[in-house]
Amino acid sequence: MLASGILGLSAESLGNVVMGGAGAIVTKSVGLKPRNGYANPTIVQTSYGLINAMGLPNPGITEFVKEIREAKSFGVPVIVSVYGFSAEEYATAAKIAVDAGADAVELNVSCPHVKETGSEIGQNPKILIKVVRKVKTVVEKPVFVKLSPNVTDIAEIAEAAAKAGANALTAINTVKAMAIDTETTVPILSNKTGGLSGPAIKPIAVRCVYEIYEGVKVPIIGCGGITDWRDAVEFLLAGATAVQIGTAIALKGPNVFKKVTRGIDAYLKRKGFKSVNEIVGLSHCS
């Protein structure tokens, strides 16, 4: 499925991702009020990934409802990513999204570059539990929680989210990072720090999924640096039942989804597995 934050602000561009083979789409994170995001530079291209600090630009959930409705016509599950500055805000945004037709919501409790939301919520198990419980009381669709790798013990946070009622966990969001230009000696991003995505963070993400799988029963959605089928299989072996792809679209275009799913199928066939379920968490047996 498509990872949140990529091309997810307009239904038409989400449609392109579906045509590229995505089995489900996660929208860009949407909150109660419109946000303009940060000034440029909002992205830094590094050797093995991207650092971004977009600043959660979004038109607000009320305006976004029409994009959700349109995205529903593509025939794949639409997962709306929501953020808030309080448990109530998460719940209200989630409810509006579900009422508009969202098949699930993914709580962004892991954005590393906006204050008082995102990872500031997801790094604190107590606040996280409160947010997840609140959302669970107002929506009947599945609630995913997207976890931050910027914590001491991701397994502990994962257990807290699962205990609070999360139906699935997405691991991981971007890794907090920064880049400084040596000639001018200034930080490049206008926000100074941002989140690293892409091939650079894949080993971190695989480790996170592996650790979470040891402790929780809810499904894990692997995310972080997946570029080809081999990366995806690695996440499945670590314990993910599904994977998300984002940054790789810049490298391979929206058709990356087709290439990855075909590659997984070929791998399963070659190795004699009957179903993808047989390899989920397989590495834990060894």
Q: What residue ranges bind another protein (CB under 8 A)?
A: 5-10, 12-13, 15-16, 28, 34-37, 39-50, 52, 54, 57-60, 63, 181, 183-184, 186, 188, 190, 198-199, 227-228, 246-253
- Give residues with Cβ within 8 angstroms of 159, minimum separation 6: 215, 216
Cβ proximity to another protein, 179 vs 282, nearer residue: 179
The answer to whether the beta carbons of residues 251 and 282 sit under 8 Å apart is no
Q: Which two tokens stand for residue 198?
A: 């892409």
The continuous run of DSSP H or E covering 64 comes out as: helix 61-71
Cβ proximity to another protein, 19 vs 214, nearer residue: 19
Q: How far apart are CA 23 and CA 19, in angstroms?
A: 10
| Residues with active-site annotation | 111
- Closest contact distance (angstroms) between CB of 204 and another protein is 16
- Closest contact distance (angstroms) between CB of 33 and another protein is 9
C-alpha closest to that of 122 among 173, 81, 168, 79: 173
C-alpha pair distances (Å), 240 with each of 100, 192, 227, 264, 266: 28, 32, 16, 14, 19
Cβ proximity to another protein, 200 vs 220, nearer residue: 200
Strand bridging mode 193-197 / 49-52: antiparallel
Cβ proximity to another protein, 134 vs 202, nearer residue: 202
Phi-psi region of 227 (alpha: psi -120 to 50; beta: other; left: phi over 0): alpha
What is the residue whose two structure tokens read 């892991």? 110
- Closest contact distance (angstroms) between CB of 32 and another protein is 13
Q: How far apart are CA 100 and CA 102, in angstroms?
A: 6
- Closest contact distance (angstroms) between CB of 179 and another protein is 8
- Closest contact distance (angstroms) between CB of 118 and another protein is 17
Cβ proximity to another protein, 5 vs 281, nearer residue: 5
